[in-house]
Chains A and B, each alone.
Chain A
Amino acid sequence: MSIITISNLRKAYGGFPAVDGFSLEIPEGTVFGLLGPNGAGKTTTFKCMLNLARPSGGSILFYGKPLVPETFESIAYVPERSVLYEWMTVNEHVEMTRRAFTSFDPVRARELLAQFNVDPRKRARDLSKGMKTAVMVALAFARNVKIMILDEPTGGLDPVNQRHVLSLMINEAAKGNTVLFSSHQIGQVERAAERIAVMDSGKLILEGLVDDLKGDRKIVEGIFPDIGFTLDGIANDARVARTERTERIVRLLVTGGAEEIAARLSGAGAAGVRVLDLNLEDIFLYAVSPATATADVVAKESST
């Protein structure tokens, strides 16, 4: 069941379309990673979801309905930039959050702050960027809510604390809660997210289960005996997303049927036909930068 449904979302700032017809379904109980280059529209999408920005068009539904206060209360949001009050201590933020939300567990919040090695007596202005992120994450995960929306929840954190955040997200999913997060660290998304969407220039360009994307998307490579080879129509196969020819070498990005296409490439006279795996970073780069991502994948040979 979809817990969040984004339909044809649009948001323009002064005529510039930050989000340009973006649609997405987020199933309940999943960890969903939103990826995209800087300025792709991820933060704007999050803001529109929480009514912190007014969409120029389209709709965002939670449980099939527009955001109402009861739903808003069941969402914890960690923004990309600190919203802590600089003059207040961390302890005071815990107390303020306790007063604001009935389901908030201050004991859990203090446990999490200790895990992140945050001194709760410090004022926000004396915390580093990473420590501010840690405080917001700790406050959010102590809220006991059904939906977590986390904009770069590991920003500025060291690797140990990054792993803490991933564990917290996985814990939420194990409880049946839903986590939507964005990150520039593709390795983290690859580990924690079950499903991803890639945004670019305000649009959805790729979406799916991480394991299925990896299972389906492969590079099929072959070497022809001379430069004047023809591909016998293989490049026209709907599953061939891209064809790159470099002298006698051809490399096909396929979205499925890699084995079959490899066999056809052999049949067309190619030698050294290989099927290469793509990790999420490769898949991401192919999605957002159509012509540059090939070099990295050559060394990784498929074991399937």
Chain B
Amino acid sequence: MPAVLTVDPRSGVPIYLQIIEQVKRSVALGVLQAGEQLPTVKQLAIDLTVNPNTVARAYRDLEREQVIETSPGRGSFVRADGVTQAPKVAAEIGRDALDVALREAKSVGLTRDELRRLFEAAVERWFPTTEEA
């Protein structure tokens, strides 16, 4: 696996969640491809200088979410259906980002209608209709 993972232990976000998020992102972006092998728990723990049980926890959750699979003795791999996973993972990343934005919008007192207008304008800015046509 390319050395794409980094963690910020000083962050308030649990380290295992940081690892999960980054593996998902790598799958969504195709940096990690279907069938590609992940480093062993021990190797990744040593590379990142974080606790091996923390890495193991991240891998367990990624298995449960069917992003990776582990076969005893062989290691952990991006699931063979990982390519079809990519859009799903991308959608999750987008949803999480929207949640953060909407929380903030709500907290400063925007209404649904105001937010819809802002959202439409933002979509137009990032995904211009002329481009799609």
Give residues in A with beta carbon < 8 Å to B. Answer: 29-31, 163, 166-167, 170-171, 173-174, 187, 190-194, 210-212, 214-215, 266, 271-279, 281-282, 300-304
Contact = CB atoms under 8 A, between A and B. Distances in A.
B108 A163 contact: no
Interface in B50-74: 50-54, 57
A187 B10 contact: yes
A171 B50 CA distance: 10
17 contacts: A163-B49, A166-B49, A170-B45, A170-B46, A170-B51, A173-B53, A174-B42, A190-B10, A211-B57, A215-B14, A266-B106, A273-B106, A274-B103, A274-B107, A277-B11, A278-B12, A279-B12
A278 B10 CA distance: 9
Nearest to B41: A174
A168 B102 CA distance: 44
B56 to A, nearest CB: 10
A191 B13 contact: no
B85 to A, nearest CB: 22
B49 A192 contact: yes
B16 A211 contact: yes
A173 B14 contact: no
Contacts of A194: 51, 53-54
A210 B16 CA distance: 10
A166 B45 CA distance: 11
Interface in B71-101: 100
B9 interface: yes
Interface class of chain B by DSSP: helix
B5 interface: no
Interface of B: 9-17, 41-42, 45-46, 49-54, 57, 100, 103-104, 106-109
Contact of B14 (A167, A211, A272, A276): A211
Given A166-B49, A194-B51, A194-B53, A272 B12 contact: no
B14 A212 contact: yes
A302 to B, nearest CB: 7
Shortest 8 CB-CB distances between A and B: which pairs?
A277-B12, A211-B14, A191-B9, A194-B51, A174-B42, A190-B9, A174-B52, A194-B53
A166 B12 CA distance: 20
B65 to A, nearest CB: 16
Contacts of A210: 14-15, 54
A214 B53 contact: no
A304 B11 CA distance: 12
Contacts of A171: 46
A61 B98 CA distance: 51
A282 B13 CA distance: 13
Contacts of B52: 170, 173-174
Counting chain B CB atoms within 10 Å of each CB, which of A174, A281, A301, A302 scores highest? A174
Contact of B49 (A170, A271, A275): A170
B12 A211 contact: no
A212 B17 CA distance: 10
Contact of A303 (B10, B49, B100): B100
A47 B27 CA distance: 49
A79 B64 CA distance: 42
A279 B13 CA distance: 8
A303 B53 CA distance: 24
Nearest to A191: B9
A300 B14 CA distance: 14
B42 A302 contact: no
A273 B41 CA distance: 38
A131 to B, nearest CB: 22
A191 B11 CA distance: 10
A301 B11 CA distance: 11
A274 B106 CA distance: 10
A163 B68 CA distance: 30
Given A170-B45, A174-B45, A303-B100, A30 B53 contact: yes
Nearest to A214: B14
